[in-house]
Structure 1
């Protein structure tokens, strides 16, 4: 896998996932830590980071966390339009 553009963090239910984008469109999961004491819950080795779909398969118990990563990814990729912009688009 190529180098990540930047690392991001998403928090849900006391867990913090570190993830990044590969080639601007592929989500790579780096690690999941307990938000309160930073103890590792799940971690992957560099060069072997799973994408979001693989992470879901490996750790289905973290569905809410994976859903939050997906929402954040799409929100950054396609920022929500303002109410005024939506009205203009349909005018």
Structure 2
């Protein structure tokens, strides 16, 4: 399982993909050097939906993680120009 790092508005999140779920491993404030959540176990790590519920004010960070997730999964189509 590879780890990914996303930063937004002075916040940093380390996350992993776990069977199509985004598991949040760490959330910290870069400017204040504080950690608000940290775990080492992917099986018990909260997913992105749970983190949105727990920390709604970090919605821009969660959106950035979701964007990074979909960007990684997106595979260019061979016939993306609409040719048959």
From 4, 10, 26, give the equivalent of 2:6: 10
Aligned residue in 2 for 1:35: 30
Query: How many pairs were matched up?
Result: 82
Matched, 1:53 2:45: no
Structure 1 unaligned spans of 5+: none
Taking structure 1 as the reference length, the TM-score comes to 0.75
Written as runs of structure 1 = structure 2, the 5 A alignment for 1:58-77 is 58-77=54-73
After TM superposition, where is structure 1 displaced by more than 4 Å over at least 4 residues in a row?
none
TM-score normalised to the size of structure 2?
0.80
- In terms of fraction of residues, the more helix-rich structure is 1
